[in-house]
Amino acid sequence: MKHIVLTIAVLLTASVLAFGQDNTKRESYTRDGKTFVQEKKSTGSSGDRVTDYLWKDSKGNEYPIILHTYVKGEKKGRTTAYVIRTSAKTGKEYKYYLPDGERIAEEILKEQ
């Protein structure tokens, strides 16, 4: 029994070391003094990016518009717009997808 446990531990350690080294060599940034500069665009699954455009609600509050590109499912490749709002009751932030968000996103993308 001890022999089996020891063999499994050695195999796990070897696999962790083999796969762990591959990811440490890739750097997606450069350093310029105290500033870290991004080299590659992040490949996160969210596909979100903040724009310079603002959304003004009926109460007069302004929020920066964020574009979201779907990367999975039946909406894959489509882009829509949302803002981050804060709940007055709980204080938690949530995404508010804009009405006609796809058309708004299309207009923003044409101008950029």
Residue 25 forms part of a structural domain = no
For range 9-34, the mean pLDDT: 58
Mean pLDDT score across all residues of the chain: 77
Residue 81 forms part of a structural domain = yes
Tell me how far apart the alpha carbons of residues 110 and 112 are, in angstroms, rounded to a whole number.
Answer: 6
Tell me how far apart the alpha carbons of residues 93 and 86 are, in angstroms, rounded to a whole number.
Answer: 4
Confidence of residue 14 (pLDDT cuts 50, 70, 90): low
Q: Which two tokens stand for residue 103?
A: 């058309």
DSSP 37-76: EE-S----SS-EEEEEEEEE-TTS-EEEEEEEE--SSTTT
Tell me how far apart the alpha carbons of residues 50 and 95 are, in angstroms, rounded to a whole number.
Answer: 13
Residue 26 has pLDDT above 70, yes or no: no
Residue 34 forms part of a structural domain = no
Residue 43 has pLDDT above 50, yes or no: no
Give me the number of domains the chain comprises.
Answer: 1
Percent of the chain past pLDDT 90, that is, above it, reads 31
What's the length of the chain? 112
Residue 65 forms part of a structural domain = yes
Taking only Cα atoms into account, the Rg of the chain, rounded to an integer number of angstroms, comes to 22
Residue 40 forms part of a structural domain = no
Structural domain span for residue 59: 48-111
Q: Could you read off the pLDDT of 49-93 as tens digits, one per residue? A: 899 899 998 888 899 999 998 888 877 888 999 999 999 999 999
